[in-house]
Each structure stands twice: as structure tokens, then as C-alpha cells.
Amino acid sequence: MLHENIKKKECVTCGCGLCCTKIQDLSVTRNHIEILKDVDLHIHCGDLTAIIGLNGAGKSTLLKAILGEIPHTGELTFLDADNRHTRRPVIGYVPQKLDFDYGSPVSVQDVFAAVHTNKPVWFSHSKKIRERAYESLTSVQAAHLINRRLGALSGGELQRVMLALALDPKPDLLLLDEPVSGIDNNGLKLFYKTVSDLRENYDLSIILVSHDFNLVAQYADRVIFLNDKIVACSGTPEEVFSDQKVIDAFGMKIIKPPGNSGGADN
């Protein structure tokens, strides 16, 4: 089994001196229905791991379990460079689609202040908090949005604001849930460019849930195919996209050879 081989390889690389995030035997059961079963993931810093799967395969559930939002069994540990348990990982999360009230009078600045301080945002924003938000937003080219209402942003703008928010404080693990939905092509390119810059400049692991196989093939180091509650196969994009189970699930036509994937940029 391909899956087994990958697991063995992980164990060998464990002592490579990189920090990593380990998920062991993670299972989720809701309303007596098993949604995820014995998911094992091992993610090194600097890696971008993409999760693919059909609708309802449990991709978003996996992210929510990692976040601690829904109850799960199994372990989630973050190990530092010496392979010691240090602390719970700092997790940055960019939701699939921020489901919020678009009419709400909450500004981008309000959200940043609410995250970074206990000083009530309805009172006022201190200069320090304003500068911190401005800096975060500048890093994703969104500084001009600081006083805009959250509900007035376009899909791409909102996605970048969420990314900026997820990056402060600097996370050990960045969870991106289908960040490509509802974004125009320019916004999409900018988002992926920002994400790949992050990998080069920071020491963080990225888990990306995506439907866009061209982008997955282009950017991901590893791909995990979730099917029927379990990790059905995992490995490099080439390995996974040539796996029979993946081809059966999605059909041949979606999975292009990796060489053509550059076409997504045009």
C-alpha cells in the first residue's frame, strides 16, 4: 500500500531537525455517525499539505477537529526542532467562506482589535493596535482596507484580510479551507503568491483544503486524499494523482499531468 510506505518514510524523517505537527488516530463521531476514522498526519514545517476529497469526505470536519471546535479522539501534538513536546501549536485559520452577517457594522480594524486585545472595540482603538493591524494588512497588500466594513469587502479582499489575521501571531500551523472559492482570478493568484512567500519566509506548516487540482499540483508538497472517512492515499502530487482510487473518484479529466499545471497561472 502506498499509504503504508509514506507512513514509514515519515517516521524516518522524524529526526531531521525540523519542527513538525503530528496528528495521530484522529477520529470524529457526530450524532452516532462516524465522520473521520484514524487519520494520521505528519506535517513538517515549511511543508504545504493539500487535502483533497469529494464533497462530504470530511475535509472541513478534519480542519474543525484540528481547531478543537468539534470533539474528537486521538492526539494532536506540536514538536519543536529537537522533537520535544513544547506546547499546543498556535493555529492560524482561514475559513472556507467566512459565514457572517454581511450587514454587520464591524470594520476590519474592529476584527483585528478584537483578536489582539481585551480593550473593548466599541470604545476606541489604541495607536499600537492600529499599527499592528496596519502592518499585518500590508503584508497581504490589504492595508487600504483597514477602515472598510467587513461585509463590504469582495471575496478576494476578505480572504486576504482573513489570511493577515491568521498570520498574527505567527502560527505554527496554518489551516486554509478552500481559499479559492468566490475569488476572481487576480485575487486567486495574489492569494497563492502570498501563501508561497510565507513558506519561504516563515517556519510554518500549511494545510490546504482545495478543489483546484492544478493549483494543488503546482504548490503542494504533499497531497492527502480523504475518502470514505479515512486517508485513502497520500504522497506527492504525482503519486496521488496517479493513484487508481483518486482517478476513480474524480475521473481522469480533472487530473492533468503536473507538467501542464503551470497553465493555471494564465
Partner 1 sequence: MPSLYRLIDILLPYEWAHHVFMKNALLGVLLVAPIFGLLGTMIVNNRMAFFADALGHSALTGIAVGVIIGMDNPFWSMLCFSILLTIAITIVNNANTASTDTIIGVFSSTAVALGIAILSMRGGFNKYSVYLIGNLLSISSTDLIMLAIVLVIVIILWTTVFNKLLLVSINQSLASSRRINVNFYKYLFTLTMAVIVTISIQWVGILIISSLLVLPAAAARNIAQNMRQYHIYSVSIAIISGLSGLILSYFLGTASGATIVLISAIFFLATLGLRFSFNN
If one asks whether residue 115 binds partner 1 (CB under 8 A), the answer comes out as yes
Residue with cell 469529494: 54
Piece in contact with partner 1 (CB under 8 A), picked from 72-80, 89-97, 131-139, 184-192: 89-97
If one asks whether residue 229 binds partner 1 (CB under 8 A), the answer comes out as no
If one asks whether residue 128 binds partner 1 (CB under 8 A), the answer comes out as no
Residues binding partner 1: number (CB under 8 A): 39
Minimal distance in Å, beta carbon 16 to partner 1? 28
DSSP classification of residue 97: S
The CA distance from 1 to 233, in Å, is: 9
The CA distance from 2 to 39, in Å, is: 15
The CA distance from 50 to 197, in Å, is: 17
DSSP-based helix, strand, coil % in the chain, nearest 5? 40, 25, 35
Are residues 213 and 104 in contact, defined by beta-carbon separation less than 8 angstroms? no
Residue 173 CB contacts under 8 Å (≥ 6 apart), including other chains: 21, 43, 66, 78, 89, 90, 91, 92, 204, 205, 206, 207
If one asks whether residue 64 binds partner 1 (CB under 8 A), the answer comes out as yes
User: What values do phi and psi take at 92, rounded to 5?
Assistant: -105, 140
Piece in contact with partner 1 (CB under 8 A), picked from 71-79, 109-117, 136-144, 219-227: 109-117
Minimal distance in Å, beta carbon 252 to partner 1? 35
Which of residues 53, 95, 156, 179 is near partner 1 by CB under 8 A?
A: 95
Which residue's CB is nearer to partner 1, number 106 or number 249?
Answer: 106
Are residues 174 and 202 in contact, defined by beta-carbon separation less than 8 angstroms? no
If one asks whether residue 118 binds partner 1 (CB under 8 A), the answer comes out as yes
Piece in contact with partner 1 (CB under 8 A), picked from 4-12, 60-68, 79-87, 248-256: 60-68
Piece in contact with partner 1 (CB under 8 A), picked from 108-116, 181-189, 234-242, 246-254: 108-116
Which of residues 17, 71, 120, 259 is near partner 1 by CB under 8 A?
A: 120
Minimal distance in Å, beta carbon 123 to partner 1? 7
The CA distance from 219 to 239, in Å, is: 15
Are residues 239 and 231 in contact, defined by beta-carbon separation less than 8 angstroms? no
If one asks whether residue 106 binds partner 1 (CB under 8 A), the answer comes out as yes
- Chain residues binding partner 1 by CB under 8 A are 31, 64, 67-69, 91-93, 95, 98-101, 103-107, 109-111, 113-115, 117-124, 147, 149-150, 162, 165-166, 175
